Amino acid sequence: MNVVKKRRLGRGVSMVGAGMSRFGAFADLSSRDLFVEAYDDMTTLMDKGFDTSDIETMYVGNFSSDLFEGQAHVAPIMSDWLGLTPKPATRIENACASGGSALREGMMAIASGMYDVVLVGGVEKMSNLATERVTDTLAMAADALYEIPAGLTFPGIFATIATAYIHQYEASTDHLAKVAIKNHANGALNPKAQFNKPLRDIMDRRIARAKERGEPVPEWEDELDFLHDDRANPLVAWPLRLYDCAPITDGAACVLLVADELASSFTEAPIKVIGIGQASGRPLHDSESLTSLSSAKAAAEEAYLMAGVGPGDIQVAEVHDCFTPAEIVATEDLGFFEPGEGARALDEGRTTIQGDKPVNTSGGLKAKGHPVGASGVGMAVEIFHQLRQEAGERQVPNDSLELGLSHNVGGTGGTCVVTIYQRG
Amino acid sequence: MNVVKKRRLGRGVSMVGAGMSRFGAFADLSSRDLFVEAYDDMTTLMDKGFDTSDIETMYVGNFSSDLFEGQAHVAPIMSDWLGLTPKPATRIENACASGGSALREGMMAIASGMYDVVLVGGVEKMSNLATERVTDTLAMAADALYEIPAGLTFPGIFATIATAYIHQYEASTDHLAKVAIKNHANGALNPKAQFNKPLRDIMDRRIARAKERGEPVPEWEDELDFLHDDRANPLVAWPLRLYDCAPITDGAACVLLVADELASSFTEAPIKVIGIGQASGRPLHDSESLTSLSSAKAAAEEAYLMAGVGPGDIQVAEVHDCFTPAEIVATEDLGFFEPGEGARALDEGRTTIQGDKPVNTSGGLKAKGHPVGASGVGMAVEIFHQLRQEAGERQVPNDSLELGLSHNVGGTGGTCVVTIYQRG
């Protein structure tokens, strides 16, 4: 079925504001608190006059507040807490791609001519549940009939993908570790990241503590040593270890979308959303490949066609690194690197902030954190700041940054949304 | 905040196909089976050539497959089961208004210029859980922080609304019973309804059974007697009794939306969707009124403005009768009747199939059944058939039916979606 085609929005859409809450584990905050925190962050950063009453409708990406907080129907609750009632509010759920899909709905709401100003947010409050129950809840994003009863949970699923990748391309667990090292280094530069320490600091602290206590001092020469040590970094599902997995995170993010022609009344530096592609994929047990997500390739192809750019043009990207192998596969599905070359690109440092293809400058889901329904919107927030040269210490050192991309996956590619952004 | 305004879609949208599964309790069917059944029903009824590959994207209204079936991320699963992969598929959740909100997203997807042919479905598989657990799950559509801990579940919430209405307008429980009698009579004419028997049949069967068994024969003169009898119709939450409550239902529904200019290649009798309004409302504990839903009034006002028609023009309507008082309030919020007059209209038979304002010809949620995520789409299916004069025994006897409306509520008006349809 030839389905990928060049699509066009009837009106151009610009992002004129972006904010996020701190990402982390906050026992005393609910989804509503986090959503308001993200919204306040956005409005505080808005360049020009903005009033909440400017917003005409809103979307909330959320995976399962039902199971995490006993609260379904979250969209009107968020609308109430922002003072937006009776503006229409709609929850979008596509597992960990809920935020990306919410962004797509927001764009179409504007392009449809129905609305000019749309708030797109995402939120998840996950730390209420014990870790095992979070893992069970997340597993519902896979196939409950054919996969969950077979014992598949997401660490197992991405361990399978990692194993296949390592086998097929003669890669190694070093490559997985290098994703973690890079993204923790980036997260260390992001004040809102859940882990804002480089792995070296964590390693050094453990060495110092062993010395203090008079225990045997671990002989780690570098972070790779540290990450390969069973006690420092326990196995979760071979070959994935603790630091290969994104954490359990509470957090929210939001962006303000407006029709292009209105952008200048909100900011001098709008970011245009020039391409978006979403695709669905069959569950993993029916996938053709374990080292590529068909939905990511289809979504990317549509986004590139719509934007009229190619992978070589993208200067900064946030990709869905829920587990370290996912980032490697993403950079290949997006066409940044040939199949099998994603691992080499890590060896060469090409995806660091200083590299030629910076990936996950925010720290990614891995270090910034992964409040699942918010993650896709959080990616847009990072690209917004990068393209506006306001990403602080983690700013990509390129004065003429113009094109960014986000890649947001739900499940094992049941959904993928790829979005392309351009400095206005 | 003056928020209601005349909105316009950039392109007109027509409904060219509609189908639904049987509604009921089906132990051996999952959501996917029901969704496929609805889709097959739709395609079987399509007038002209249609191929699944014509569909470009899809929406799935679903309240909580997570809690009902342990399956989140349902949209790509449905897409897979219809053979639509890799077409983008997105789940919309706004509690019992999920289907109505999905319809709105489908319309905007077309109006945006991104897509020409969009499938909008809804599904819920509820009968897996014990009744108390269904009630707990549905309660999550209210406010989990302020209402659920106070013991509010939906029967209690709508009992509160009923009590307030009866008090404010000198109405009685007879009016509630009359909604049930009318809608069960309509459901008896709908082969897909969960209850396709008039209440009189149920009453007569119980009388016959008592006679057979030599038990005291109940002295019910009519259905009102039957419905006011504690043993025939036990109290759930005063003044609501069993037959005041919509049942727990498994079911699915879908409609095919296309850009107006393409409608004639799918059918000779398209139904245009000429108006849609969605609004959010504050939770019940913060509402200004117990006898009206502010979101319903705002949504209706926007839908009427967009369609350029008024309540007096509507010739057939499906409204959200999750409990009998909800139908009465709905007919007033929609402007069909003045506040307090909805009850009188029942006394006068105005909302029967033969009345001047037929409401819930399908049997409504009350008798057709209420698979919550599917209900809003199911309403569109009924209006589609009514306006095309193909509703069989329950067809409104008016050869020149032209305008229909659906009114779909989530929670206690946290969300309301009103949609207006016109024969093409």
Residue of chain B minimizing CA distance to A306 = B114
Tens digits of residue pLDDT in A65-99: 999 999 999 999 999 999 999 999 999 999 999 99
CB contact under 8 A, B3 and A86: yes
DSSP structure string for A262-284? GGGGT-SS-EEEEEEEEEE---G
Q: How many CB pairs under 8 A join A and B?
A: 237
Q: Mean pLDDT lowest for which of A18-27, A282-291, A393-402?
A: A282-291
CB contact under 8 A, B86 and A298: yes
User: What is the residue-level pLDDT of chain B in tens, covering all 424 positions?
Assistant: 447 889 999 999 999 999 999 999 999 999 999 999 999 999 999 988 799 999 999 999 999 999 999 999 999 999 999 999 999 999 999 999 999 999 999 999 999 999 999 999 999 999 999 988 999 999 999 999 999 898 889 999 999 999 999 999 999 999 999 999 999 999 999 999 999 999 999 999 999 999 999 999 999 999 999 999 999 999 999 999 999 999 999 999 999 999 999 999 999 999 999 999 999 999 988 889 999 999 999 999 999 999 999 999 999 999 999 999 999 999 999 999 999 999 999 999 999 999 999 999 999 999 999 999 999 999 999 999 999 999 999 999 999 999 999 999 999 999 999 999 999 8
User: Is residue B96 annotated as part of the catalytic site, yes or no?
Assistant: yes
Tokens of residue A226, six digits: 């540290």
CB contact under 8 A, A140 and B8: no
CB contact under 8 A, B140 and A71: yes
Residues in chain B: 424
B70 CB burial (10 A radius; 0-12, 13-18, 19+): middle
Mean pLDDT of A319-324: 98
Tokens of residue A103, six digits: 């962004």
Q: Which of A175, A184, A370, A407 is catalytic?
A: A370
Tens digits of residue pLDDT in B35-72: 999 999 999 999 887 999 999 999 999 999 999 999 99
Mean pLDDT of A6-22: 96
CB contact under 8 A, A278 and B90: yes
Q: Are B124 and B247 in contact (CB under 8 A)?
A: no
Report the gap between the CA of B63 and the closest CA in chain A (Å).
8
Q: Hey, of B62, B66, B73, B284, which one would you mutate to test binding to chain A, going by the most A CBs within 10 A of its CB? A: B73
User: Is residue A302's pLDDT more than 70?
Assistant: yes
User: How high is the mean pLDDT of chain B?
Assistant: 96
Tens digits of residue pLDDT in A146-189: 998 988 899 999 999 999 999 999 999 999 999 999 999 999 99
Q: Which of B370, B385, B407, B416 is catalytic?
A: B370
Phi, psi of A367 (to 5 degrees): -115, -35
Q: Hey, of A11, A34, A52, A73, which one would you mutate to test binding to chain B, going by the most B CBs within 10 A of its CB? A: A73
pLDDT band at A424 (very low <50, low <70, confident <90, very high): confident
Report the gap between the CA of B221 and the closest CA in chain A (Å).
43
pLDDT score, position A47: 84
User: How high is the mean pLDDT of chain A?
Assistant: 96
Please name the residues in contact with B61: beta carbons below 8 A apart, sequence gap of 6 or more.
B91, B92, B93, B94, B98, B99, B100, B101, B102, B103, B120, B121, B122, B123, B373, B374, B376, B377
CB contact under 8 A, A76 and B111: no
pLDDT score, position B385: 98
Q: Hey, of B114, B274, B409, B417, which one would you mutate to test binding to chain A, going by the most A CBs within 10 A of its CB? A: B114
Q: How far apart are the first and last CA of chain A?
A: 35
Mean pLDDT of A316-342: 98
All residues of chain B having their beta carbon less than 8 Å from the beta carbon of residue A57 are 278
CA distance B300 to B417: 8
Is the alpha carbon torsion for A330, A335, A337, A341 positive or negative?
positive
pLDDT score, position B1: 45
Tens digits of residue pLDDT in B24-37: 999 999 999 999 99
Mean pLDDT of A42-47: 92
Tokens of residue B361, six digits: 């010809």
Tokens of residue A109, six digits: 């709401």
pTM for the model stands at 0.97
Say whether B76 sits in a helix, a strand or coil: helix
Amino acid letter for position A40? D
CB contact under 8 A, A415 and B86: no
Report the gap between the CA of A108 and the closest CA in chain B (Å).
5
User: Is residue A370 annotated as part of the catalytic site, yes or no?
Assistant: yes
